Amino acid sequence: MENATDPPEKVTEDAVNMTAAAAMDTTPPALTNDDETSPSNEDGSAWVLVQKKRRTQADLLQGTKTSELQGKTTQRKPTTSRPPPLPLHDYKAILRPLGGLRLDQWSRPTLTRAIGVAASLPPAEVDGLVFRLRPEQNLAVISTPHEHIALNLYSVQHLRLGEHTYPVSIYIAAPDNSCKGIIYGVDPGTSPSELMDHLITPGHTVLQARMMGKTSTALITFEGLQVPHYIRYYGAEYRCYVHRPRKQVCTVCLRLGHRSDNCPTPNCVTCETCGVDNPTPGHSCAPKCRSCGGDHPTTDTGCLARVRPPLNKERVRKALQQEQLQRDV
């Protein structure tokens, strides 16, 4: 889960593939705010159970893959500095610092050791983690193949760094082999359990469903990479649209990529209208966006700088196809 937010959430981060988007109706639905799809509103531990069910088949294939790869050597072209993809079937825990903690001000080993202490992990298990920092979002992704480690990470609420203890929030991101859709016109305040009990999705498995904040829009996570065109809820037919979240805008510093509750500069004072730092009382200003320079506030939901391109899940698709070929052997 490399979208935390994307998640993000979550980690998580936060997922639509380009093929699925092309197959859907070309009329785009209204974009949704990341604040409304915040992983803090989800049951982050639920994804541990979802991942557990999938790992059995993946583990059975590992021996076959290893034997086929032995003795084969291939020359690979030089790659860019982009880090390699995280393991497909790993649990991805998304760490969001709170209380003004800036993760990029601490060394990565210091952070992982603090996480290990907070999660009661022995050094050998800490060494087995894949810790990936995302400084532009002020969050980190922690990848592990082990369920018990994921659950321990999910329980962490504080990190001890230096002489201070900082509050943090950790959630488990949705699996890589999943996608999200939205439906409109559902009663606000509907519980996740009611949605799950009465959603009918022929040919598709629903992993999780919940309302988006106080709106009448329901966010539904499906297994696989294809969002269905239509689903039913209490027997009523709904058009299901691919979920296209906007980039988050911090209402404190007005920067893209994070929310106000994990802002790395919580004491920053910025004019929400013109975006000027440390404005004088009663200053005159006109709307100006800090993201695109347009004549609108930075928090404007229609700002083009907040539009996210669809995630390319071709790597996930190819990996799943390879696993299917192994099953057919």
What pLDDT sits at residue 59?
A: 59
| Mean pLDDT of the region 210-233 | 96
What pLDDT sits at residue 8?
A: 40
What pLDDT sits at residue 245?
A: 87
**Cα 34-40-42 angle, rounded to 5 deg:** 95
Phi-psi category of residue 323: left, alpha or beta, with phi > 0 → left and psi -120 to 50 → alpha: alpha
Does the predicted TM-score (pTM) go above 0.85? no
pLDDT band for position 5 (cuts 50, 70, 90): very low
* 58-100 pLDDT, tens digit each: 555 555 555 444 555 555 665 557 889 999 999 999 999 998 8
Q: Three-state secondary structure along 91-157?
A: EEEEEEECCCCCHHHCCHHHHHHHHHHHCCCCHHHHHCCEEEEECCCCEEEEEECCHHHHHHHHCCC
Long-range contacts of 322-326 (CB under 8 A, 24+ apart): 323/57, 323/58, 323/61, 326/61, 326/64, 326/65
Examine the pLDDT at 129 and tell me if it is beyond 90. Answer: yes
Higher local confidence (pLDDT), 278 or 2? 278
* 292-317 pLDDT, tens digit each: 999 999 999 899 999 887 777 788 88
pLDDT band for position 12 (cuts 50, 70, 90): very low
* 155-183 pLDDT, tens digit each: 999 999 999 999 999 999 999 999 999 99
Examine the pLDDT at 116 and tell me if it is beyond 50. Answer: yes
Examine the pLDDT at 148 and tell me if it is beyond 50. Answer: yes
Higher local confidence (pLDDT), 117 or 70? 117
Spatial contact of 111 and 131, defined as CB atoms under 8 Å apart: yes
What pLDDT sits at residue 246?
A: 87
What pLDDT sits at residue 316?
A: 84
* 20-57 pLDDT, tens digit each: 333 444 445 555 655 444 554 555 666 676 666 666 55
What pLDDT sits at residue 79?
A: 55
Higher local confidence (pLDDT), 83 or 187? 187
Spatial contact of 246 and 255, defined as CB atoms under 8 Å apart: no
* 231-275 pLDDT, tens digit each: 999 999 999 999 988 888 999 999 998 888 889 888 888 998 999
